[in-house]
Amino acid sequence: QLQLQQSGPGLVKPSQTLSLTCAISGDSVSSNNAAWNWIRQSPSRGLEWLGRTYYRSKWFRDYALSVNGRITINPDTSKNQFSLQLTSLTPEDTAVYYCVRGPLYYLGTTTYYFDYWGQGTLVTVAS
């Protein structure tokens, strides 16, 4: 059974960098048919897709325009996990952050949906 286990701080100061890690069991971060996403949820912004990384002969990374320039998602094949770094935090970045798997392909064509979710990490940006 695939499981995603998140770790990282729950409180970060404004202007600092958020770092979260997602450990994968039951699948491989290097899978040819999986994308590894970060999604956040807050009362003010709802659900918001932040970005993803996936492997297709080489590593790819896609980021949402709303956080592009502040976000980095990296795979760690030695530990079978992936991470999120989000810089220059403001109180608007306060949210529950989820690591999420999504299939890359359905019936041979590119697809976009999210089938396995981590437990979520409440991140509060405050001094």
The residue ranges that bind another protein (CB under 8 A) are 46-49, 51, 62-65, 98, 106, 111-115, 117-120
Beta strands in 8-94 (DSSP E): 11-12, 18-25, 34-42, 46-55, 59-63, 71-76, 81-86
Nearer to another protein, 75 or 102 (CB): 102
Distance CA 17, CA 80 (A): 23
Shortest reach from residue 105's CB to another protein, in Å = 11
Q: Residue 13: left (phi > 0), alpha (psi -120 to 50), or beta? A: beta
Q: Which is nearer to another protein, 27 or 48 (CB)?
A: 48
Query: Minimum distance from CB of 68 to another protein (Å)?
Result: 8
Least distance from another protein to the Cβ atom of residue 124, Å: 17
Residue 44, CA atoms < 13 Å, CB-side half-sphere: 5
Asked whether the beta carbons of 102 and 34 are under 8 A apart, the reply is: yes
**Beta carbon nearer to another protein, 26 or 112:** 112
Structure tokens belonging to residue 35: 């994308």
Cβ proximity to another protein, 30 vs 119, nearer residue: 119
Rounded to a whole number of angstroms, the minimum distance from the CB of residue 117 to another protein is 4
